[in-house]
């Protein structure tokens, strides 16, 4: 059984598509091809609102798996709506389904409150929960699914975006040290 499935909210896709953040569609496509990305209707809607034109252009819908038959947002919406960023509670419910299917690779959440919710209330997902940049670095260092060059490009672009005042993956200037640490890790991991 392969555990290659990812549940992640819209901020991941949006960061790669936004001119002020990573702005690198090619790398996004490469990552999407390396894993199975599952999304629900809410997350899809969030991406469409911001980058509907790009979705069409890069044919992203062929690279991800959209769960349309079930409304995953309904399960936790009473807690999630307006409290967490929209879409995160949908991701958690999708992640639990993938976990039960023995296919969950990672539940990627950057928001601290949402992570606390998972830790307190869905403990079986804790071992799968990662920050986006940790997922990307592990994907290179542990799984060799993303090249060193592209991993460094992502980290560098995230750092630059933060220094320019954006907040990719919920990161701010006080997290620059974390990015430097990750750059060092990438530098050393494949030696």
Q: Tell me how far CA of residue 21 lies from CA of 35, 78, 159, 171, 184, in angstroms.
A: 22, 31, 9, 11, 21
Residue 50 Cβ vs another protein, minimum distance, rounded to whole Å: 20
The CA-based diameter of the chain, rounded to the nearest angstrom, is 48
Q: How far is the CB of 162 from another protein (least distance, A)?
A: 21
* Beta carbon of residue 109, minimum distance to another protein (angstroms, whole number): 13
Q: Which two tokens stand for residue 168?
A: 């990719």
- Closer residue to another protein in complex, CB, 53/70: 70
Tokens at 8, concatenated = 């992640």
Residue ranges in contact with another protein by CB under 8 A: 69-79, 81-84, 93, 96-97, 99-101, 112-113, 116-117, 120-122
Judge contact between 90 and 73, C-beta under 8 A: yes
Q: What does residue 36 show for φ and ψ, rounded to 5 degrees?
A: -100, 110
Q: Which is nearer to another protein, 68 or 164 (CB)?
A: 68
Give the shortest CB-24-to-another protein separation in angstroms.
Answer: 32
8 Å CB contact between 64 and 33: no
**Helix axes 176-189 and 148-163, enclosed angle (nearest 10):** 170
Please provide the size of the chain in residues: 191
Smaller CB separation from another protein, 58 or 122: 122
Query: Please, which residue, 16 or 37, has the CB nearer to another protein?
Result: 37
In the complex, minimum distance from the CB of residue 96 to another protein, in angstroms, rounded to a whole number: 5
Residue placing its CB nearer to another protein in the complex, 57 or 70:
70
CA count, 13 A, side-chain hemisphere, 108: 24
């Amino acid at each position: 059984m392969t555990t290659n499935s990812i549940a992640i909210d819209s901020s991941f896709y949006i960061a790669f598509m936004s001119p002020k953040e990573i702005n690198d569609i090619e790398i996004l496509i490469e990552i999407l091809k390396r894993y199975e990305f599952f999304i629900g209707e809410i997350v899809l809607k969030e991406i469409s609102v911001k980058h509907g034109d790009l979705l069409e252009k890069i044919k992203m819908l062929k690279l991800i798996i959209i769960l349309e038959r079930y409304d995953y947002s309904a399960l936790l919406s009473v807690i999630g709506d307006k409290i967490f960023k929209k879409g995160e509670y949908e991701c958690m419910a999708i992640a639990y389904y993938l976990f039960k299917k023995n296919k969950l690779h990672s539940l990627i959440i950057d928001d601290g409150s949402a992570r606390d919710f998972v830790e307190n209330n869905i403990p079986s997902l804790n071992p799968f929960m990662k920050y986006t940049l940790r997922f990307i670095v592990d994907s290179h260092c542990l799984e060799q699914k993303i090249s060193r060059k592209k991993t460094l490009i992502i980290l560098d672009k995230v750092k630059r975006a933060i220094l320019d005042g954006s907040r990719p993956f919920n990161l701010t200037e006080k997290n620059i040290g974390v990015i430097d640490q990750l750059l060092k890790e990438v530098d050393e991991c494949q030696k």
